[in-house]
Amino acid sequence: MGKLETNKRMKENSLLNTAFEFFTTKGFSKTSISDIVAHAGVAKGTFYLYFKDKYDIRNKLICHKSGQLFHTAVTELKSNPDYEKMMFEDRLIFIVNHIINQLNENQELLTFISKNLSWGVFKTALTTPISDQNVNFADIYHEMLLDAPYYFKEPEIMLFLIVELVSSSCYSAILFQEPCTLETLKPHLYESIRLIIQAHKAGEKQKPEQEKAC
């Protein structure tokens, strides 16, 4: 990476980090672009080289932070010695569990993402790799689907239901211990995820030997 590209990335990261600090302390509505650029130490015109407006930096910040969560979880998953033996359900629940634990440790991030997350923004986060880490969760999810010994009907809807279930239930459990603590909730949550996956299974895939026999 050249010096110019490195400098551009540093400025963009500075704007993202400063915006996150303001959005989580001062609030999105009370934060201005002038606040962000002043504390990031860049000119206002520089802001518009990277972002259209305050809403754009908020959405890209959600993608950036969500991407970091997925990157860490997927890295841990693939370094697990039992990774190759794990079923689709176990891999997905491993990722969910890791992300939940990260959000439990960073409740400020949980509040920010939960307040501003929409499915459209989330899909962008899934399909847009972090520039310096190159993890595309959509590719990982597709790879997991291909590795599974069965087909799925409407895999995007299946993922949507799981994301909605996890985000809504864990938000209350982590921040308010309602209806119970996170650790008490987890077994029920993961069983529900398995039921969602089971409901979307659409038959077993043929093994190579079976295909030849046909």
Over its length of 214 residues, how does the chain's per-residue pLDDT go in tens digits? 577 778 888 899 899 999 999 999 999 999 999 999 999 999 999 999 999 999 999 988 888 888 888 889 999 999 999 999 999 999 999 999 999 999 999 999 888 887 765 566 566 666 665 555 545 778 888 999 999 999 999 999 999 899 889 988 898 899 999 999 999 999 999 999 999 999 999 999 887 654 555 4
Residues ≥6 apart with Cβ < 8 Å to 117:
62, 66, 167
Q: Name beta bridge partners: 201.
A: 152
Helix (H) or strand (E) holding 190, with range, is: helix 182-199
What was the pLDDT predicted at 132? 53
What was the pLDDT predicted at 117? 57
* Burial of residue 36, with CB atoms counted within 10 A of its CB: 0-12 exposed, 13-18 middle, 19 or more buried: buried
What was the pLDDT predicted at 187? 97
What was the pLDDT predicted at 8? 84
What was the pLDDT predicted at 168? 85
Which domains, and CATH codes, for the chain?
1-51 (1.10.10.60), 53-213 (1.10.357)
What was the pLDDT predicted at 64? 81
What was the pLDDT predicted at 128? 60
- Report whether 45 contacts 6 (CB < 8 A): no
Helix (H) or strand (E) holding 203, with range, is: strand 201-204
